[in-house]
């Protein structure tokens, strides 16, 4: 029985090798099938994922390839992932604030989308930064590093998403915390 299995296996292997050597034919016209080839006019560069087409002398960014014309932007706030509102913090510490949001529009957020300070204090964060890239219908975590002021008090910083055309959209997101009084030294 073992010889029979070996013989069947060898036959299958030989038949398989013959199939690999023969080019595939398209049943519709009897022509040989040829797999797609790489277009020599399009080259991939290492610079921020950009395709270059030297025959047309045009740059096409990958992030722009999937964008739908006349799409609608929307950001839905889901939850604070870190530093709930009203958190008591020490003066001068770094605050790693993270929000969970959902891209509820039908536009994909790419590198042209921004997050901007719209109210409150900057708290050592850049007043404008890239919005986390997210496809339509997906959730994302937005993260900003803040520095708590040295002075005790209540602090709030509000941020808004902006489209590539500069239009604000969606729910604003906030950090809201209390800097505690410094404890007196010994």
What are the residue ranges spanned by the domains of the chain? 40-67, 75-179
Round the CA-based radius of gyration of the chain to a whole number and report it: 28
For residue 134, give the nearest of 173, 96, 100, 167 by alpha carbon: 100
Fold exhibited by the domain 75-179: Immunoglobulin-like (2.60.40)
- Has residue 165 got a pLDDT over 60? yes
**Entry pTM:** 0.63
Q: Note whether 73 and 160 are within 8 A (CB).
A: no
Task: Choose between 77 and 47: higher pLDDT.
Answer: 77
- The values of phi and psi at residue 175, to 5°, are -115, 135
- Has residue 27 got a pLDDT over 50? no
């Amino acid at each position: 029985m073992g010889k029979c299995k070996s013989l069947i296996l060898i036959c299958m292997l030989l038949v398989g090798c013959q199939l690999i050597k023969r080019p595939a034919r398209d049943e519709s016209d009897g022509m040989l099938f040829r797999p797609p080839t790489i277009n020599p006019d399009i080259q991939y560069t290492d610079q921020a994922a950009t395709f270059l087409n030297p025959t047309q002398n045009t740059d096409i960014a990958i992030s722009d390839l999937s964008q739908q014309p006349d799409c609608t932007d929307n950001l839905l706030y889901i939850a604070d992932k870190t530093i709930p509102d009203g958190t008591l913090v020490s003066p001068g510490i770094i605050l790693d604030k993270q929000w969970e949001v959902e891209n509820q529009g039908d536009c994909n957020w790419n590198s042209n989308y921004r997050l901007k300070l719209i109210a409150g204090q900057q708290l050592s964060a850049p007043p404008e930064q890239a919005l986390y890239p997210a496809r339509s219908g997906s959730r994302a975590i937005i993260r900003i590093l803040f520095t708590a002021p040295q002075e005790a008090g209540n602090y709030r910083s509000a941020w808004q998403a902006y489209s590539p055309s500069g239009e604000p959209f969606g729910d604003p997101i906030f950090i809201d915390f209390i800097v505690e009084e410094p404890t007196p030294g010994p």
